Chains A and B, each alone.
Chain A
Amino acid sequence: AQSVTQLGSHVSVSEGALVLLRCNYSSSVPPYLFWYVQYPNQGLQLLLKYTSAATLVKGINGFEAEFKKSETSFHLTKPSAHMSDAAEYFCAVSDRSNSGYALNFGKGTSLLVTP
């Protein structure tokens, strides 16, 4: 089964600083990869997805991620953090071996943005 590993369960950045959330994947086939954001007591909102087109993927709220096959990575970045970016972020891979293409999630990274 395909899986992802998120490095760092908590990341703290200052407002205006670069945001970097790390995700590495394990897959025997070209993966579909996703980043989701979750605010407290809310569902998951899609930030961006990689589906084997362009390796640099731009998403909502100024986030982007780059698919690097050689590093099996799909790290999420944002040039300048806002206070409103504080949330839980999940990297996920779509398991194509499953008839329903279920998502396998990483354990999540909690982003704290300080003034």
Chain B
Amino acid sequence: DAMVIQNPRYQVTQFGKPVTLSCSQTLNHNVMYWYQQKSSQAPKLLFHYYDKDFNNEADTPDNFQSRRPNTSFCFLDIRSPGLGDAAMYLCATSRVEGGLGYTFGSGTRLTVV
């Protein structure tokens, strides 16, 4: 089945130690998104790629970066994780026409110790 896969499902990192979360898709969708969801809150968009074009949300901290080496993969890099960055990170994809639907991965739960 075509899908969005996030690895790992659970990630523990040390305070200040760089960490990378990965997302892959077999849907061949043009757009890939990264959302941050803190406990009991709604998902918040960090940034997205439309093909190779990177779009950063205005309030996304500089600590968060992203890479999309090809259509299938997208990475979220947190350069110096703080305790406040502990959250569920959700990857999603869509075609350009958003009404056709978005597909979410199962998420990566990040813990910072």
Chain B residues, CB < 8 A from A43: 6, 90, 104-107
Chain A residues, CB < 8 A from B42: 90, 105-108
Per-residue CB contact flags for chain B residues 40-77 toward chain A (1 = under 8 Å, else 0) read: 11111100111001010000000000000000000000
Please tell me if the beta carbons of B41 and A102 are within 8 angstroms of each other in the complex.
no
Per-residue CB contact flags for chain A residues 74-101 toward chain B (1 = under 8 Å, else 0) read: 0000000000000000100010101111
Q: Which residue of A lies closest to B4 (CB)?
A: A43
Chain A residues, CB < 8 A from B101: 46, 49
Number of interface residues of A (CB under 8 A): 26
Chain A residues, CB < 8 A from B92: 44, 103
Please tell me if the beta carbons of A45 and B104 are within 8 angstroms of each other in the complex.
yes
Per-residue CB contact flags for chain A residues 39-69 toward chain B (1 = under 8 Å, else 0) read: 0011111100101100000000000000000
Measured CA separation A99–B99 after assembly (Å): 13
Taking the closest CB of chain A, its distance from the CB of B57, in whole angstroms, is 8
Please tell me if the beta carbons of B106 and A42 are within 8 angstroms of each other in the complex.
yes
Chain B residues, CB < 8 A from A49: 99, 101
Given A41-B109, A43-B90, A99-B50, A105-B43 contact (CB < 8 Å): yes
Please tell me if the beta carbons of B99 and A32 are within 8 angstroms of each other in the complex.
yes
Q: Which residue of A lies closest to B44 (CB)?
A: A105
Please tell me if the beta carbons of A94 and B33 are within 8 angstroms of each other in the complex.
no
Chain A residues, CB < 8 A from B55: 98-100
Contact for A46 among B6, B44, B102, CB less than 8 A:
B102
Please tell me if the beta carbons of B33 and A100 are within 8 angstroms of each other in the complex.
yes
Q: Which residue of B lies closest to A99 (CB)?
A: B50
Contact for A100 among B44, B48, B103, B109, CB less than 8 A:
B48
Interface of chain B residues 68 through 113 with chain A (CB within 8 A): 88, 90, 92, 94, 96-107, 109
Chain A residues, CB < 8 A from B103: 46
Binding site for B on A (CB under 8 A): 32, 34, 36, 41-46, 49, 51-52, 90, 94, 96, 98-108
